[in-house]
Structure 1
Amino acid sequence: MTTLELPSWAVVTERRRAHIERVVALLDRWAGEMTLPPQEHRAWIDAGRWHDALRDADEATLRAATGDQERPLGMLHGPAAALRLEHEGETRADVLDAIRWHTVGNSTWERTGRALYMADFLEPGRTFMQADRAFLADRVADAFDAVFRQVVRLRLEWTIREGKGLAPQTVALWNHVR
């Protein structure tokens, strides 16, 4: 297996790298099954490759990169990575938006953002609801919108069950897909 190429500025543990590799593998599989045009296929792969590039960076780094002193730490790695990619010349809005909002969702996403949101949740290395998630992952190519709606619902239910706050973007996403 070829080692996944990450940006030189990425801060990831081996465990995180393995997660990123599984996300990219799902995105690649779905893009192939859906026979996406090459540019969209590449966008999906790049979004998966970069989405957690700063997931293991420290709080000071993420807050400095985003200028955000209020949002929870776990919501900063996507915006920080998107800003870094923009600074380096990335211009594909669908890729940047997918990375920026992959933790909370976004109601204006194109397919790239939706695909990343699903792959991040459905990747097989996660230990919860394995059979259900595998079932959904196997249906993305044939029922993309229906699976996306179900993933949004499952993630929303988990957030509420865990007593976590709902980001405005998450609420807007649910209202858009329900």
Structure 2
Amino acid sequence: MSDVALPDWAVVSPKRHAHIARVVALLERWSREMSLPADEHQAWLDAGRWHDALRDATEEVLRRATGDAASPVGLLHGPAAADQLAREGESRAAVLSAVRWHTVGHAEWTRTGRALYMADFLEPGRAFMQADRAYLADRVASAFDDTFRQVVRLRLEWTLREGKTLHAPTVALWNSVC
């Protein structure tokens, strides 16, 4: 499914493109299983297509695009893509927020942001916790909020276990679901 169409300005490797395709496939599946309205269905797919569109851009490009000289470079691809989408006329707040915050999370997300956050973590191409993540992916349509809370918890546990920084939006997200 690496035939997922990306914007002309996307900077992704073939491996990243395959990841994006797997994320979109999960979002498509969940959306259909949940019988989402057409506009929300499309928002989920668009957020999935665009979330990593600049993931393989250089640090220089990302810093210039965002004007952010301080944040870790790994956090800049979402904001850079959201800003580019807005400049091109994308106006759906749920899509822009999902793309902007998909790496760290956001407490005020609608289902679009929450679905993208889960799909990015649960997509089957990742090598870790495959059975657990597959189980969670199978539960999204029937237990969306409970599964989202579990995914947030797992991502927080991993961050703490790896000794990585907990970013303020991530903490706020956790506080909003616990």
- Provide TM-score, normalisation by structure 1: 0.99
CA distance in 2, matches of 1:3, 1:28: 14
Deviation per CA, 1:81-122: give whole Å up to 9, x if none.
000000000000000000000000000000000000000000
Task: Tell me the equivalent position of 2:157.
Answer: 157
CA distance in 2, matches of 1:151, 1:70: 28
Contact 2:107 2:176 (8 Å CA) reproduced = yes
Task: Tell me the equivalent position of 1:172.
Answer: 172
**One-letter identity of the residue aligned with 2:160:** I
- Residues 26-175 of structure 1: matches in 2 within 5 Å? 26-175=26-175
- After TM superposition, the runs of 4+ consecutive aligned structure 1 residues lying more than 3 A away are none
CA distance in 2, matches of 1:100, 1:126: 22
Gaps of 5+ in 2: none
Q: 1:143 offset after TM fit, Å?
A: 0.1
The verdict on how the C-alpha distance between 1:32 and 1:13 changes in structure 2, with shifts beyond 3 A counting, is same
Gaps of 5+ in 1: none
Task: Tell me the equivalent position of 2:20.
Answer: 20
CA distance in 1, matches of 2:3, 2:20: 11
CA distance in 2, matches of 1:159, 1:69: 23
Structure 2 counterpart SS, 1:138: helix
Q: 1:3 offset after TM fit, Å?
A: 1.3
- Provide TM-score, normalisation by structure 2: 0.99
CA distance in 2, matches of 1:93, 1:145: 20
**One-letter identity of the residue aligned with 2:111:** R
After superposition, the CA RMSD in angstroms is 0.7
Aligned residues: 178
Structure 1 counterpart SS, 2:139: coil
**One-letter identity of the residue aligned with 2:15:** R
Deviation per CA, 1:57-94: give whole Å up to 9, x if none.
00000000000011101000000000000000000000
**One-letter identity of the residue aligned with 2:52:** D
**One-letter identity of the residue aligned with 1:151:** V
CA distance in 1, matches of 2:120, 2:25: 11
Identity %: 71
Q: 1:2 offset after TM fit, Å?
A: 7.1
